[in-house]
Amino acid sequence: MAVLTNSFVPCNGRFPTLMAMISMFFTGTKGGLLGSLKGALALTGVIAFSVLATFAASKLLSATVLRGKPSSFILELPPYRKPQIRKVLLRSVLDRTIFVLGRAVTVAVPAGLLIWLAANVKAGGVSLFQHAASFLEPAGLLMGLDGVILLAFILGFPANEIVLPIVMMGYLASGALVETGSLESLRALLVSHGWTWATACSMILFSLMHWPCATTCLTIRRETGSLKWTGAAILLPAAFGFVCCALFTGAVRLAGLL
């Protein structure tokens, strides 16, 4: 259950997108004490919502596919000893940093090639990126997004930090990832492509609830030893995100707020 619901709480890679959406569309980008306070409260509310979503998903799982008697889990702690600095640093470098970076490179290299090919290879005078975005447009609109945003989440599978740069690449028809620059210029670009406060809300919702990044998926595969549970860990949050975005967008349209 922990594996399946882990990605509902945002990781460091999702925080830049969440904070950018909150600043650009809800609290303003000028900063100051009041702006910082409003941003902090809004971000706290978003995190609280993600925790509630985790509880809801856990409740659903415990009543369906993971139904059964509760199982106990015992963690035996080793004897406390005085830390040895050299061993701590060595284990941190070998077991954490190099291990994670190795997995990131394993995924990032082919993913970077895929993004470049999608943006630069053309069919019928249109890039493969735009073809894929057009195909995803109906699903994106149903979620209050668009095809470019949805494709950016898919291509951002290696790392959540590159979702917004991919969105910019799609809107600008660039052949490479684009730096986000200032929030004011980014907001102007997004608004010119039809973004509203509702689009930003849907973006926040799907940022909170979609598949974990590739490194996390590799870790899940290693820890569970199962492709089935790795697939479930990808599909469950994605399904929650799709449903939440679709329900939110439907409610906003029904209330005539768009």
pLDDT digits (tens, 9 = 90+) for 1-20: 888 888 888 888 899 899 99
Q: 59-92, pLDDT tens digit by residue?
A: 888 888 888 766 777 878 888 888 788 777 777 7
- Alpha helix locations (H) across 121-162? 128-142, 147-155
In the structure encoding, which two tokens stand for residue 227, read together?
Answer: 């492709």
pLDDT of 172 > 80? The answer is yes
- Per the model's pLDDT, the better-predicted residue between 39 and 147 turns out to be 147
Q: Which helix (H) or strand (E) holds 126?
A: strand 126-127
The mean per-residue pLDDT over the stretch 105-125 comes to 83
Model confidence band, residue 48 (pLDDT cutoffs 50, 70, 90): very high
The sign of the torsion formed by the CA atoms of 12, 14, 17, 20 equals negative
pTM for this model (two decimals): 0.84
Note the Cα 158 to chain centre separation in Å: 10
Residue 82: which residues within 8 A CB-CB, separation 6 or more?
none
For position 216, what pLDDT does the model report?
87
In the structure encoding, which two tokens stand for residue 147, read together?
Answer: 């095809």
